[in-house]
Structure 1
């Protein structure tokens, strides 16, 4: 089991996400989340997936698209840090990424496939990270970040958005 990261392993911005992560094996948590998201997506109609709970808010499809974008970005950071890259990994603007890509044009099946592929890639990478590599630190947006803290952020960030889908979009998400 990978221990929860210490506060000096990540920027204060990520504290809320990391606190959401229950105790347990982080890789198993990522697998469980993948199963939940894929199951939820498989249960949605196109109309349900295009739903926005308020004007100007993302659709369900865009929320899943955002999770997929975040997965790719965070996995890249985690890989580079785990392997000793000391470069400063810049932040990203989720709204710019969302404006630049038409997730609402995806079918639910396409979104499900893309999300699943991104998560599977992350899981395959994580299964081969050595114990010492999990503890390596790099820099993300001018702040220290360990490889393990990024894995925890991935889980916590997704939990945050799944809770929003459940609470604001009335999507049946078993958390």
Structure 2
């Protein structure tokens, strides 16, 4: 699985509704300032060799697609699931050339569906084990790490786009 963004909570202490609400709050807090970006501003990289805002949200969209499948699969049965080549996914989908409003809408819609899906998980399933890219984990950890990963990228993007704002 590579980099993790959270230490993880004991799955017995997690609540799917609270996880869903956390993700929803992250979306709503971010979409307000993300929507203020122009297409031109969202197309400019922080520096050479780095992703622009469109590509960062594209990456987070790809993460949503991959993790939705994992979240559903881990509720059904134990599985060993692959990671994904994030740089290739972003490049092949050419997010930089897509309209910012479309990238933002896709990211938001997929994550709204994840909010719904996570909120309807049986709490006992949060302890379900799986393996992602060779890393053993629980469904609860996967969801916590997914949210922390999103917050990591959004915080970094906001600090770059809107320096001095929290």
**TM superposition score normalised by structure 2:** 0.86
In 1, the alpha carbon distance for the partners of 2:143 and 2:164 equals 21
Structure 1 unaligned spans of 5+ = 1-10
Provide the alpha-carbon RMSD of the alignment.
Answer: 2.4
1:171 to partner: Cα distance: 3.2
Residue 5 of structure 1 is matched in structure 2 by: none
Aligned-partner Cα distance in 2 for 1:45–1:52: 13
Structure 1 contact 41–108 (Cα < 8 Å) conserved = no
Alpha-carbon deviation of 1:124? 1.4
Change (3 A) 1:115 1:173: farther
Aligned length: 160
- Tell me the alpha carbon deviations over residues 70-120 of structure 1, each in whole angstroms, 9 at most, x when there is no partner: 011112111111222x22100111111112111112212111210111101
Distance 2:96 2:60 in 1: 14
In the alignment, is residue 18 of structure 1 matched against residue 6 of structure 2?
A: yes
Where in structure 2 are the equivalents of 1:4-83 lying within 5 Å? 13-14=3-4, 17-19=5-7, 25-83=18-76
Residue in structure 2 matched with residue 171 of structure 1 by the alignment = 162
Could you tell me how far apart the structure 2 residues matched to 1:64 and 1:173 are?
21
CA contact under 8 A between 2:21 and 2:115: conserved in structure 1? no
**Aligned-partner Cα distance in 1 for 2:100–2:63:** 18
